[in-house]
Amino acid sequence: MRVVATYLALIGAIAGLPATGLAGQSMSAAEFDAYTRGKTFYYGRDGSAYGGEEYLDDRRVRWSFLDGQCQDGRWYEEGGNICFTYEHLDEPQCWSFERGARGLVARFESDPSRLELYEVEQSAEPLHCLGPDVGA
C-alpha cells in the first residue's frame, strides 16, 4: 500500500514539473557518484513517471520502470558520458547528466532522438523490486 501511495504522490509531483532543466555542464563521474551514491532517484519524462534507479556502492545500480521488475547493472564514464550496462541488455546505455534548477537532467546520448529525463524525487529507500518470477 505504501508503494502505491508513493507512486501516486510521484505522479502528482511530476505533473507540476517542467520537462527540461537549465542547460549546464555535464557532470563528471566523480560529481555524479557524489550526488547519487546511496540514494534512489525517480525520473519523469513529459509530465509522466518514467522510472527509478537506485545508486549503490562500487558504481552498481538497480533500475525499474516502476513496475516491480528491476535490473541490476553498473555504470562507468566514457567520453564525458555516464554509461550503464545491465544484465539483460547487450549495448551500454550512455547518458549525459547535468544539475538543473530542480535536480538532475539526463539526456540519452546513445540515440539521436536524445530522450530527456528529469529528477522528480530522491529517496534513501531502496526501489520496490519483486523477486524473480513472483506469482508464477
pLDDT 10s digits, 17-37: 443 334 579 999 999 999 999
pLDDT mean over 86-97:
94
For residue 57, the domain's CATH number is 2.40.128
Euclidean distance between CA atoms 111 and 27, whole angstroms: 19
DSSP string, 119-131: EEEEESSPP--PP
Identify which has the larger pLDDT, 38 or 114: 38
Residue corresponding to grid cell 525499474: 64
Please give the residue that has the higher pLDDT: either 7 or 49: 49
The pLDDT, as a whole number, for residue 23 is 54
Q: What backbone torsions phi and psi does residue 74 show, to the nearest 5 degrees?
A: -140, 160
Query: Confidence band (pLDDT; 50, 70, 90) for 133?
Result: low
Q: Is residue 54 one of the residues assigned to a domain?
A: yes
pTM metric for this prediction: 0.79
Per-residue pLDDT at 113: 82
Task: Kindly tell me if the per-residue pLDDT of 57 is higher than 70.
Answer: yes
Higher pLDDT: 31 or 4? It is 31
The residue segments making up the domain with residue 55 are 2-123
More confident residue, 35 or 13: 35
Q: Is position 133 within any domain?
A: no
> Which pLDDT belongs to residue 110?
87
Is residue 81 situated within a structural domain?
Answer: yes
Segment 49-78 shows an average pLDDT of 97
Query: Is 129 within a domain?
Result: no
| Sign, Cα dihedral of 81, 105, 56, 37 | positive
Residue 128 domain-assigned? no
What local confidence, expressed as pLDDT, does residue 135 receive?
A: 55
Q: How many domains does the chain have?
A: 1
